[in-house]
RNA sequence: GCUGGAAUCGUGUAGCGGCAAUCACAAGAGACUGUAAAUCUCUCGCCUUCGGGCUUCGUAGGUUCGAGUCCUACUUCCAGCA
């Protein structure tokens, strides 16, 4: 049985715009959710399986994280258990605002397996693992998945995704979508987009049936795809922006896709010029500082990304003057980042000490490194969004952006 | 002193007649963006116009078309016996 919580009808989802960036689509605002407010722009940490790797809920609070994103596909087998615990916020111990992805990303990552963002200099697709066969196969009905860990077969369509997400019970859900890869051409994107729009309508109506099951109102974002083509991006923004089922529209929008880095700003502008201004928008899966600035300028309110934690585990440490690879700092007495206010830096860890922990053969020391490095990188990106918000409130977005990017990218 | 065994990239190793020579670690370079990712790719004797060239497996000889690989001597180390 699903545990029923007290009625929280007074803690509905809503979004307020507090201040706009002059001459652009960007804004600072507040998203109110049943589990708390999110001051935007905001970075949501990624805890795919209901926990951020090597960070406790206390760690998340200590770096001032505001929200956590988890994944419907990866949590699908635990959804009943999570519902039983009262939903993702209490199940995870985070007890704050949460968002779940639909599994749409896995249509690509387990399907074509190509990289998400590629720069002009490096158009070659990026894969980390050799893919011998596709683990996700798409049809108009939905997607057949082969679980990469246990090989089990699963079918997930929009209805299944909504049922799963509503059991998991995050504050915000994503409509089930198909993320195409950069290798897919225009014709394929036309077909995939038609499917994603049909899935959006099916998501919306299925969501209506389940969204109150845990005792608080769960929200749904429609997800925009359309690759790098202006006609597709603008038309899908108009379609999803106006889409209603039984008088209910999407509560916000997810901006999705795989991008050439150079095209990102323009694509987001096409989308945001067509979408209703008063709804919040989430830029899916990006968190490099330049991407956050572009996203904010073009109207994105929230972001999520695995990069801060994954790159931390891989030895990359973010600093105001660019990222460093810890490999190069054996015995270095330097601070990670001179003026950082994260728990790791405040505790006085040096680059050399962190490198030693990272390279240690002792599993516990290694895990200590993952924790310390993850906290640092997540704090770096969270702090960036806090500073961007402040700069918007102060009317100094562009000055702050230029100064930050000059320091960061040199 | 005698009897066995061993000497190969920074380290530990594979190799038992076709070898610039295995694997691991260390080291170096790169990647990572809604997490199949505490992961992946590349380099790792010297030189290179990236075709290749050169010198290598304790030392010195020898057998062989061809030798880390077989033989002889020497050197060093380890084990056992004295």
| A124-160 pLDDT, tens digit each | 555 555 555 789 999 999 999 999 999 999 999 999 9
CA→C1' distance for A127 and B51 (Å): 32
> How far is the C-alpha of A373 from the C-alpha of A317, rounded, in Å?
7
Kindly indicate the confidence band of residue A12, based on its pLDDT and cuts at 50, 70 and 90: confident
Domain boundaries, chain A: 14-305, 316-393
How many angstroms separate the CA atoms of A377 and A311, rounded? 8
Active site annotation includes A101: yes
What does residue A127 show for φ and ψ, rounded to 5 degrees?
-130, 145
B32 C1' closest Cα residue: A311
Question: Nearest nucleotide (C1') to the CA of residue A74?
Answer: B35
A133 burial (CB, 10 Å; 0-12 / 13-18 / 19+) is: exposed
The b-or-e profile of A284-298 (16+ CB within 10 A means b, else e) is bbbbbbbbbbbbbbb
The yes-or-no verdict on residue A40 having pLDDT over 60 is yes
User: Which structure tokens are listed for A209?
Assistant: 């049936």
Residue A14 CA and nucleotide B15 C1' are separated, in Å, by 70
In terms of Cβ atoms closer than 10 Å to its own Cβ (0-12, 13-18, 19+), residue A331 is exposed
> What mean pLDDT do residues A365-381 have?
98
Distance from residue A313 (CA) to nucleotide B39 (C1'), in Å?
9
Residue A15 host element (H or E): strand A14-20
Chain B footprint bases within 7 A of protein beta carbons: 26-41
Strand, coil or helix: A87 = coil
Average pLDDT over chain A reads 93
Residue A2: the pLDDT is 37
Dihedral of CA A313/A334/A292/A88: which sign? Answer: positive
Inform me whether the pLDDT recorded for A6 exceeds 50. Answer: no
Quickly count: other Cβ atoms within 10 Å of residue A125's Cβ: 14
| Active-site residue identified among A101, A184, A251, A272 | A101
Protein residue at shortest CA distance from C1' of B27: A327
Q: What is the ipTM of this complex?
A: 0.91
pTM metric for this prediction? 0.93
C-alpha A235/C-alpha A188 separation (Å) is 16
CA separation for the pair A179, A189 (Å, rounded): 9
The per-residue pLDDT for A5 is 41
Which residue from A279, A156, A162 is spatially nearest to A218, judged by alpha carbons?
A162
CATH number attached to the domain at A14-305: 3.20.20.105
pLDDT tens, residue by residue, A221-236? 999 999 999 999 999 9
* pLDDT over threshold 60, residue A280: yes
The predicted pLDDT at position A130 comes to: 53
Using the CA of A284, which nucleotide's C1' is the nearest one?
B34
Residue A113 has pLDDT above 90, yes or no: no
List A171, A177, A301, A304, catalytic entry:
A304
Q: How far is the CA of A118 from the C1' of B62 (A)?
A: 62
Nearest nucleotide over every DNA/RNA strand to the A287 CA, judged by C1': B33
């Amino acid at each position: 049985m699903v545990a029923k919580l007290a009625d929280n009808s007074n803690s509905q989802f809503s979004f307020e715009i507090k201040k706009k960036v002059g001459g652009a689509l960007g804004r600072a605002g507040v998203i109110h959710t049943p589990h708390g407010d999110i001051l935007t722009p905001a970075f949501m940490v990624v805890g795919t399986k209901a926990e951020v790797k090597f960070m406790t809920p206390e760690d998340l609070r200590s770096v001032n994280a505001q929200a956590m994103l988890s994944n419907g596909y990866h949590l699908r087998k635990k959804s009943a258990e999570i519902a039983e615990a009262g939903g993702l916020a209490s199940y995870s111990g985070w007890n704050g605002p949460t968002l779940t992805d639909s599994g749409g990303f896995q249509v690509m990552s387990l399907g074509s397996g190509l990289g998400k963002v590629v720069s002009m200099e490096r158009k070659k697709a990026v894969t980390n693992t050799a893919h011998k066969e596709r683990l996700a196969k798409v049809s108009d009905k939905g997607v057949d998945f082969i679980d990469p860990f246990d090989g089990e077969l699963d079918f997930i369509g929009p209805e299944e995704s909504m049922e799963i997400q509503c059991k998991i019970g995050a504050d915000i859900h994503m409509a089930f979508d198909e993320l195409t890869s950069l290798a897919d051409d225009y014709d394929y994107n036309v077909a995939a987009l038609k499917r994603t729009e049909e899935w959006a309508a099916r998501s919306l109506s299925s969501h209506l049936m389940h969204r109150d099951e845990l005792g608080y109102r769960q929200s749904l974002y429609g997800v925009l795809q359309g690759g790098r083509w202006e006609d597709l991006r603008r038309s899908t923004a108009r379609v999803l922006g106006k889409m209603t089922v039984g008088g209910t529209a999407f509560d916000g929008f997810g901006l999705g896709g795989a991008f050439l880095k150079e095209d990102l700003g323009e694509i987001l502008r096409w989308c945001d010029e067509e979408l209703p201004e008063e709804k919040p928008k989430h830029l899916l899966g990006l968190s490099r500082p330049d991407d956050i600035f572009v996203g904010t300028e073009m109207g994105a309110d929230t972001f999520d990304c695995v990069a801060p934690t994954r790159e931390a585990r891989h030895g990359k440490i973010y600093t105001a003057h660019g990222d460093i690879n810890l490999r190069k700092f054996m015995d270095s007495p330097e601070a990670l980042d001179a003026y950082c206010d994260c728990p790791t830096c405040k505790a006085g860890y040096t680059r050399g000490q962190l490198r030693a922990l990272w390279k240690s053969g002792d599993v516990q020391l290694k895990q200590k490194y993952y924790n310390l490095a993850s906290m640092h990188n997540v704090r770096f990106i969270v702090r960036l969004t806090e500073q961007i918000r402040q700069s918007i409130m102060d009317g100094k977005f562009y000055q702050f952006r230029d100064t930050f990017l000059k320091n960061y990218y040199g």
